[in-house]
C-alpha cells in the first residue's frame, strides 16, 4: 500500500518533472493519510515537501493552497512554493513544496507551556478562521493535529488544508470528535459555525488533555459535553462561550472571539480597563480573589501561589491581548 515516496532517505536529490526545480531531502517530518512530508533544501532555502500517496491524492489540497496563494498576506495556510511530480523507480507521484512551519504541535506546546495558553491560542485561531471565512472557505477538518505553534513570538498556523471546503458545500473530510454531525449537533454543511464547533472542541480537548468517547445510546450529547466542561474547573469561565459555539449560535468567528476574550478577562478577575495602566488592576484582582470564601479547600492552601500566577498571567495576557489588538 505504501509507496516508495514514503521513504526517501536524507540526502536524496531530485528534479521536478515539469518545472525542473532541484530538491534535496534533509529529513522526513511527517506522514499522514494522503502522503508523507519532508524537510528539504531548495534553491531558496529550507522548505517542506508533501509527496502524494497516489497519483491523484493531493489534488484537492493543492487546489485550495493555490486559491490561498492569491490572497494577500498568506496567513491562510503554509504558502505554496511549487507544484510538480517526482519520479520514484519509474513511477511518478505528485508533490508540492510549501513554507516549512517550524514549531510544536498544538497539544505538545500546551503540555510544555501550560493550559493557560489554550484560550490565548484559541483567540488567534478564531482570528484566522474569521479571515478564512471571509474569503469564502471553511476549514473542515479542524483539529489539534493540523495546528502547529511557531515562534517565539508564538503563533498558531495550520496545515493540511485538504479538507478545506467552499462555503455552502458539504464538508468531505472531518474527524469525528470535532465534527458536529457526529455529536448530533448539526449537519456537515460548510458554514462558519461548523468550524466554530470544532474550535470549541479543540479548547475542551486541550484543557482536558485527552479526548473522551461519545457514550453509546446517549440521548442528549450536548448535556454530556457540558458535563465534561463542568468537570474541568479551568473550563468554567468559558462554559457560556463554548456552549454557544457547540449549539451553533455564533454566525461568525469574530463574535465568538470577542466572547472568548471577555471570558479570559473575567477569569483573570479584572474588569476591562485600558491596558496601558495595569497596576491598579492587580490590586483589585487581589482583593477580589481573597474576598469570597474559596470553593475548595485545596484551592485555599494554594491561593497565594495562585495569585502570583494570576497576576503574572494577567500582565502577560494583557500584553498579548494588546498585541493581538494591534495586530488585527
Partner 1 sequence: MSGGKIRQILLLTDGCSNQGEDPAAVAAYAYEKGITVNVIGIIDEGAGKDHGMKEVDEISKSGGGVSQVVYASQLSQTVQMVTRQAMTQTLQGVVHNELRHILGEEREMEDLPPEKRGEVMEIVDDLGETVNLEVLILVDTSASMKPKLPMVQEALADLSISLHSRTGKNHFALFLFPGKRKDADKAADWTANINELTGTFQRLTTGGVTPTGPALKTALRYFEKRLGKRSLKAYEARDLPIEESGM
Question: Considering only 8-16, 154-162, 243-251, 269-277, which stretch makes contact with ligand ATP by CB under 6 A?
Answer: 154-162
What is the C-alpha to C-alpha distance for residues 7 and 187, in angstroms, rounded to an integer? 39
Burial class (CB in 10 A: 0-12, 13-18, 19+), 143: buried
Query: Using CB under 5 A, which of 6, 26, 31, 32 touches Mg ion?
Result: 32
Query: Using CB under 6 A, which of 94, 162, 237, 269 touches ligand ATP?
Result: 162
Query: Using CB under 8 A, which of 55, 227, 251, 302 touches partner 1?
Result: 55
Q: How long a stretch of residues is the chain?
A: 328
Query: Using CB under 8 A, which of 188, 247, 284, 286 touches partner 1?
Result: 188
* 78: partner contacted, choices Mg ion, partner 1, ligand ATP, none (Cβ within 5-8 A by kind): ligand ATP
Q: Which of 84, 128, 130, 141 is catalytic?
A: 141
Three-state secondary structure call for residue 39: strand
Site string for partner 1, 262-291 (x = CB under 8 A): ------------------------------
Query: Using CB under 8 A, which of 30, 181, 221, 294 touches partner 1?
Result: 181
Over the Cα atoms of the chain, what is R_g?
A: 22
Q: Are strands 103-105 and 91-98 parallel, antiparallel or unpaired?
A: unpaired
Residue 141 designated active-site: yes
Grid coordinates representing 321 are 491581548
Q: Which is nearer to Mg ion, 146 or 164 (CB)?
A: 146
What is the C-alpha to C-alpha distance for residues 114 and 222, in angstroms, rounded to an integer? 27
What is the C-alpha to C-alpha distance for residues 241 and 101, in angstroms, rounded to an integer? 30
Cβ pair 270, 279 in contact under 8 A: no
Grid coordinates representing 220 are 442528549
Active site residues: 141
Binding region for Mg ion (CB under 5 A): 32, 146, 160
Binding region for partner 1 (CB under 8 A): 18, 55-56, 59-60, 62-63, 66, 83-85, 92, 94, 168-172, 176, 181-182, 187-190
Amino acid at each position: 500500500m505504501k509507496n516508495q515516496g514514503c521513504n526517501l532517505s536524507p540526502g536524496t536529490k531530485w528534479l521536478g518533472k515539469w518545472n525542473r526545480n532541484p530538491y534535496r531531502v534533509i529529513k522526513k517530518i511527517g506522514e499522514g493519510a494522503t502522503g508523507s512530508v519532508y524537510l528539504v533544501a531548495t534553491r531558496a532555502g529550507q522548505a517542506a515537501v508533501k509527496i502524494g500517496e497516489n497519483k491523484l491524492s493531493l489534488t484537492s489540497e493543492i487546489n485550495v493552497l493555490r486559491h490561498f496563494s492569491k490572497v494577500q498576506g498568506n496567513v491562510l495556510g503554509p504558502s505554496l512554493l511549487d507544484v510538480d511530480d517526482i519520479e520514484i523507480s519509474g513511477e511518478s507521484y505528485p508533490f508540492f513544496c510549501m513554507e516549512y512551519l517550524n514549531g510544536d504541535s498544538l497539544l505538545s506546546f500546551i503540555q510544555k507551556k501550560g493550559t493557560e495558553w489554550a484560550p490565548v491560542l484559541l483567540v488567534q485561531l478564531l482570528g484566522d478562521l474569521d479571515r478564512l471565512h471571509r474569503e469564502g472557505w471553511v476549514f473542515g477538518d479542524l483539529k489539534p493535529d493540523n495546528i502547529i505553534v511557531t515562534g517565539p513570538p508564538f503563533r498558531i498556523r495550520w496545515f493540511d488544508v485538504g479538507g478545506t471546503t467552499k462555503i455552502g458545500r458539504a464538508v468531505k473530510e472531518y474527524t469525528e470528535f470535532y465534527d458536529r454531525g457526529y455529536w448530533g449537533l448539526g449537519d456537515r454543511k460548510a458554514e462558519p459555525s461548523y468550524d466554530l464547533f470544532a474550535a470549541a472542541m479543540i479548547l475542551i480537548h486541550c484543557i482536558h488533555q485527552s479526548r473522551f468517547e461519545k457514550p453509546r445510546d446517549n440521548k442528549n450529547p450536548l448535556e454530556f459535553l457540558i458535563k465534561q466542561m463542568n468537570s474541568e474547573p479551568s473550563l468554567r469561565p468559558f462554559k457560556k462561550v463554548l456552549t454557544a459555539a457547540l449549539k451553533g449560535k455564533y454566525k461568525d468567528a469574530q463574535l465568538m472571539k470577542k466572547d472568548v476574550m471577555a471570558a479570559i478577562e473575567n477569569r483573570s478577575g479584572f474588569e476591562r480597563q485600558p491596558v496601558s495602566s495595569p497596576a491598579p488592576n492587580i490590586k483589585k484582582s487581589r482583593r477580589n480573589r481573597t474576598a469570597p470564601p474559596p470553593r475548595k479547600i485545596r484551592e485555599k492552601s494554594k491561593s497565594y501561589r495562585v495569585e502570583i500566577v494570576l497576576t503574572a498571567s494577567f500582565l502577560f495576557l494583557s500584553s498579548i491581548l494588546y498585541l493581538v489588538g494591534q495586530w488585527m
